[in-house]
Amino acid sequence: MHEYDDAAASLAARMAELSIDRLQMQAPLDRTLSPAELEELAGQTVTPGGIGGEAAAQLWEDVLAPACLSIDHPRYLAFIPGAPSKAAAAFDMLIGASSIYGGSWLEASGAVYAENQALRWIADLAGLPESAGGVFVQGGTNGNLSALVAARAAALHARGGTRPARWAVMLTHETHSSVKHALESVMDVDVVEIPGDDRGRLTGSAIRSWLEIATDEQRHSVFAVVATAGTTNLGVIDDLAGIGEVAREQGWWFHVDGAYGGAGLAAPSVRALFDGIEQADSFIVDPHKWLFSPFDACALLYRDPVLARAAHTQKASYLDVLTDDPTRSVWNPSDYAIHLTRRPRGLPLWFSLAVNGTDAYRDAIETTLAVTRAARELIDAADHVNLLVDPDLSVLIFERVGWSDADYNAWSDRLLKDEIAFVTPTKHRGRVCTRFAIVNPRTTVADLQLVLDSMRD
């Protein structure tokens, strides 16, 4: 298994061939198969003697890969898709073959150096100070959780070790579900849910209204507020400037979840919508969403990384060689999040940025925004659909006039079965509807027109 013999060489060549074929092709949408269908087509694949490299590769190519939806298909419009650049996807292949441990400077100084340059680009987009820094983690869920763990540790230190009866974090209904789950189920922290405005945005004025009626104990329990820069369901940006101002006045940690929308910082046409993000104590954005990287990566940045390092550095005798540097002159990524072992998952983004330049990223994001604006005009002009929320970024949420839940489900299932598009139902204010999430520069207005026309039946 570990020798590079003729069989390994043949298998490597086959994997390279499949990988290059995938990079060259127009991504197929493919479809979902049931467990029974896969059992019939694939059968038992893990056996005592193995099935051999060629058989396993053929099984993947013919059966298993076509049963996985391609998130980079131009009409994959559900959830938040992705569209890795060719450079990022190709470099990810090399990282997989390179066996790099990305947790410490000692073991991966070159990788960490490169990742930190990509993080610096993002920090500069957000207007964070030169002292800012962070780490790439597995996804937005881990990024948000790590930031809030650091926030609580910083609050405890600032309060001289005195804890309230219960810790609490402020957010709103449109805050990503993973944040509430992390707070309540993982951190055992209470959630203070502030009503959003008519577009679902958390605002500084709404927080001030809560402060006017809250008890001293309630106010003292809050240690952080979470704002969203591009909500998943609606694509809107919270009142970052107003929220940041209140957080600073109250001494709260200000965290901004830009997992989807944070990439919009690179687009001049919408940059002003993010005003106030420069006040953030922590900020995340997922490169595998709108920054054209493969799964999975979240860029987590801290205004003051020293506070994050104090919260997250793990202590063990075998780690002393990494953590006992009195000057802290090196950057150990494992010190800045709830992980130790880590893949250097920021490298595909770094490589693509190095290859293509940041202007190409700006232009690709602006392309998706232009397509979104054109699609919004299609919706406005159509008589069978209604836009439900004015978009800030590249999410369009709308309803088909007169449809029931069953109608949406049947339509969505038909589009996927026929491998036309992947668009799923959602809800807004209790009403079933649907949405387009447009982050792929290869998605065209014609693609969206095709889907809208399919709703006329």
For tokens 């709404």, the residue is 206
In this prediction, residues 17-30 reach a mean pLDDT of: 96
Query: What would the pLDDT profile of 345-383 be if each residue is shown by its tens digit?
Result: 999 999 999 999 999 999 999 999 999 999 999 999 999
* pTM confidence score: 0.97
Given a cut of 60, is residue 327 above it in pLDDT? no
Query: What would the pLDDT profile of 26-83 be if each residue is shown by its tens digit?
Result: 999 999 999 999 999 999 999 999 999 999 999 999 999 999 999 999 999 999 999 9
Cis peptide before 62 (omega within 30 of 0): no
By the 10 Å C-beta count (0-12 exposed, 13-18 middle, 19+ buried), 197 is classed as middle
Q: How far apart are CA 277 and CA 264, in angstroms?
A: 12
DSSP state of 224: E
In 173-243, DSSP assigns E strands to: 190-194, 222-228
Q: Where exactly does CATH 3.40.640.10 map onto the chain?
A: 100-355
- Residues in the chain, how many? 457
- Where helices occur in 251-345 by DSSP H, the ranges are 287-290, 305-312, 320-323
Angle between helices 405-417 and 445-454 (to 10 degrees): 130
Given a cut of 90, is residue 407 above it in pLDDT? yes
Q: Which two tokens stand for residue 4?
A: 């590079």
- Alpha carbon 45 to its chain's center: 32
Query: What would the pLDDT profile of 2-13 be if each residue is shown by its tens digit?
Result: 999 999 999 999
Q: Are 335 and 318 in contact (CB under 8 A)?
A: no
Q: How far apart are CA 79 and CA 425, in angstroms?
A: 10
Given a cut of 80, is residue 135 above it in pLDDT? yes
CA–CA distances in Å: residue 54 to residues 2, 41, 57, 58 = 17, 17, 5, 6
In this prediction, residues 123-152 reach a mean pLDDT of: 98
Q: Where exactly does CATH 3.90.1150.10 map onto the chain?
A: 358-454
Query: What would the pLDDT profile of 409-438 be if each residue is shown by its tens digit?
Result: 999 999 999 999 999 999 999 999 999 999
Which CATH entry fits the domain spanning 358-454: 3.90.1150.10, 3.40.640.10, 2.60.120.10, 3.30.70.260?
3.90.1150.10
Query: What would the pLDDT profile of 83-114 be if each residue is shown by its tens digit?
Result: 999 999 999 999 999 999 999 999 999 999 99
By the 10 Å C-beta count (0-12 exposed, 13-18 middle, 19+ buried), 317 is classed as exposed
CA–CA distances in Å: residue 236 to residues 199, 202, 390, 394, 417 = 8, 10, 8, 9, 31
Q: Give 3-state DSSP helix, strand, coil % of the chain, rounded to 5.
A: 50, 15, 35
pLDDT for residue 295: 95
Burial code (b: 16+ CB inside 10 Å, e: under 16) for 425-437 equals bbebeeebbbbbb
Domain 100-355 has CATH 3.40.640.10: yes
pLDDT for residue 323: 76
213, 216, 222, 228 alpha-carbon torsion, rounded to 10°:
20
pLDDT for residue 324: 72
Q: Which two tokens stand for residue 240?
A: 């970052």
Q: How far apart are CA 19 and CA 21, in angstroms?
A: 5
